[in-house]
A and B are shown apart, each in its own frame.
Chain A
Amino acid sequence: MMKDNLLVAVSLVVIVFSIGGLISSYGLVVEIVSPNVLTGHATSTGTINVTITENVLANLTSSNVNWGTGAITGENSNATIDTLGNISRGNWSALSSGLVIKNEGNVALVLDFQSNKNATNFIGGTSSSFKYMITNVDSGACTPPDGFVLGTFYETNTSTIQICDSFAPNESVRMDFELTIPSNSNLGILSSTITIGYNKVT
């Protein structure tokens, strides 16, 4: 009889510990799920310190610019195509949107741009051109570095170029491209991989 009572008592102690562990786990989950929820009652004055975790994140709304298949029309010496909807002296498909980069985080970012090919490597031929242009989708989204002007096409090269000194959170910038394809360009599928690097403003 005594042994039975002892067994029940020990079991009760064990279950109390288990419930304690479960409550502790519940507390952890609540902390994770709702880190910004504060409750409490200040009796006179008090200080609330809230730490908001930095989130460094940018996204491309689409990762591919593809004009499809085409050729220089007539006897023209070159064609010019861009992502603003213009196709001159060629019959590629018109594209009216470039890449849109959005700052999805909560801190301002530095943006830089690099291509694995310049115009010669990408398109080839005589006087080919591979240009890019940055414009703000949201007013004031990108503060460019000195000497870099938004809304202006620049020739692409393979070195890394800083395009935004400060890219505001929750804002977007657009990256457009303009290609000049000479009549003696490379043929077939031509592609270049561009890389947008980002990090928080220090």
Chain B
Amino acid sequence: MNKKQRLAVILLILAIILSVISIIIHVAVNQIEDSSGDNSGEENPVLQGTIQLTVQPSEGRPNDEG
């Protein structure tokens, strides 16, 4: 393999690496755009909370009441 052939191979490998990076960036950007689009498309967003207490029998009340 002479010098020019070696240079061509190096350039081709470099081109492949750059192309792969470019494809990865495009895919990532598309995913970000898709996910942000999904959020804005939610029609009925809700928040949920819980109101809780534990009630023990009061004085003079049998434990099995209720």
| Contact, CB under 8 Å: A68 / B53 | yes
Please list the residues of chain A having a beta carbon within 8 angstroms of any beta carbon in chain B: 4-5, 7-8, 10-12, 14-15, 17-19, 21-22, 24-26, 28-29, 32, 53-60, 62-76, 81, 92, 99, 101, 115, 122-125, 130, 177, 179, 181, 183-199
**Closest chain A CB from B36 CB (angstroms):** 8
Residues from chain A with a CB closer than 8 A to the CB of B51 are: 65, 115, 122, 130, 177, 191-194
Can you name 23 A-B residue pairings with CB atoms under 8 Å?
Answer: A4-B8, A7-B4, A11-B15, A15-B11, A15-B15, A18-B16, A22-B18, A25-B22, A25-B25, A25-B29, A53-B40, A59-B47, A60-B49, A72-B58, A76-B58, A99-B49, A125-B66, A181-B53, A183-B61, A184-B61, A187-B63, A187-B66, A199-B45
Instruction: Give the distance to chain B from A90, nearest Cβ to Cβ, in Å.
Output: 8
Contacts of B21 in A (CB 8 A): 22, 25
- Contact for B40 among A4, A54, A181, A193, CB less than 8 A: A54
B1 to chain A, nearest CB (A): 10
The answer to whether B48 touches A8 (Cβ under 8 A) is no
Q: In the complex, which of the residues B12, B19, B21, B51 has the most CB atoms of chain A within 10 Å of its own CB atom?
A: B51
Nearest Cβ distance between residue A194 and chain B, in whole angstroms?
Answer: 5
A122 to B54, CA, bound (A): 11
CB-CB under 8 A for A66 and B45, given A12-B11, A14-B12, A15-B18: no
Q: How far is the CA of A69 from the CA of B53 in the complex (A)?
A: 6
Question: What is the size category of the interface that chain B forms with chain A?
Answer: 35 or more
Query: What is the number of contacts between chain A and chain B, taking CB atoms within 8 Å?
Result: 180
Q: Which residues of chain A come closer than 8 Å to B26, judged between CB atoms?
A: 25, 28
- Given A123-B55, A183-B61, list of 8 further CB < 8 A pairs? A7-B5, A14-B11, A69-B53, A92-B53, A101-B47, A181-B55, A186-B55, A198-B45
CA A135 to CA B4, docked complex, whole Å:
78
Q: Which residues of A contact B12 (CB under 8 A)?
A: 11, 14-15
Instruction: Say whether, besides A25-B25, A81-B53, A183 and B18 are in contact (CB < 8 Å).
Output: no
Partner of B46, one of A57, A192, A197: A197
Q: Are B55 and A185 in contact (CB under 8 A)?
A: yes
Complex CA gap A107/B23 in Å reads 35
By beta carbon, the residue of chain A nearest B26 is A25
